[in-house]
Amino acid sequence: MSNNSGIFNRFSGKGVYPHQLAWILLLPFRNFYLSPRKLIKRMNLRQDCVVLELGCGPGYFSPFVAQAIPDGKLFLTDIQPEMLAKAEMRLKKKNISNVELIFCDGQSLPFEDNFFNCIYLVTVLGEIVEKETYTKEMYRILKPGGVLSISEQGGDPDSLQLDVVKDIFLPAGFVFDRVFGKSKTFTANFIRP
């Protein structure tokens, strides 16, 4: 199998999205499913929120979220340093500075307890191998009353149905708040009590 077909297989199958195809994640057709503006509205962010984007990829949503919290800060994490480098370049081009990028190892999240007002993941949850460990970590680093926002896109080979997403977070102590969107393409918000 050539390297290129290996990358394509990772793109069209389950598993971690290949950074070589990050450009596809930056195509504006994505707005048809979920635009940055719509995502920001769904997360109901205040201007001074401290926010974590887990699995930021090349940062399609990141600059817009950072601009929505001018008195706060956005942290970006990913397990692929190549993705973080692409996101960083995109933010630099737009002169956005209230952002910090942090490589994560897929096991733990290197932040203090009760640190974030909001954590969001867009088409990431299905790729996470250590879901139970990560779920506990997300609970630990969210402030009480903080929002965990999960967006899934139908057609993504790793996408999860709402019931499965609930089965991941409710046993960890999160409370389901509300869902936006349609059956396979949705944003589900949970609250950390």
Ligand X SMILES: C[S@@+](CC[C@H](N)C(=O)[O-])C[C@H]1O[C@@H](n2cnc3c(N)ncnc32)[C@H](O)[C@@H]1O
- The residues in 65-104 that bind ligand X, with binding defined as CB under 6 A, are 77-80, 83, 104
Binding-site member from 117, 123, 135, 159 for ligand X (CB under 6 A) = 123
User: What letter would DSSP give residue 18?
Assistant: P
Q: Is the Cβ of residue 21 or residue 175 nearer to ligand X in the bound state?
A: 21
Q: Is the Cβ of residue 28 or residue 144 nearer to ligand X in the bound state?
A: 28
56 CB-near residues (< 8 Å, 6+ apart): 62, 76, 77, 78, 83, 84, 87, 101
Neighbours of 34 (CB within 10 A): 22
- The residues in 102-121 that bind ligand X, with binding defined as CB under 6 A, are 104, 106
Question: What is the smallest separation between the CB atom of 57 and ligand X, expressed in angstroms?
Answer: 3
Neighbours of 118 (CB within 10 A): 24
Q: Is the Cβ of residue 55 or residue 146 nearer to ligand X in the bound state?
A: 55
Structural tokens at position 158: 């790793």
List of residues contacting ligand X (CB under 6 A)? 16-17, 25, 54-57, 60, 77-80, 83, 104, 106, 122-124, 127-128
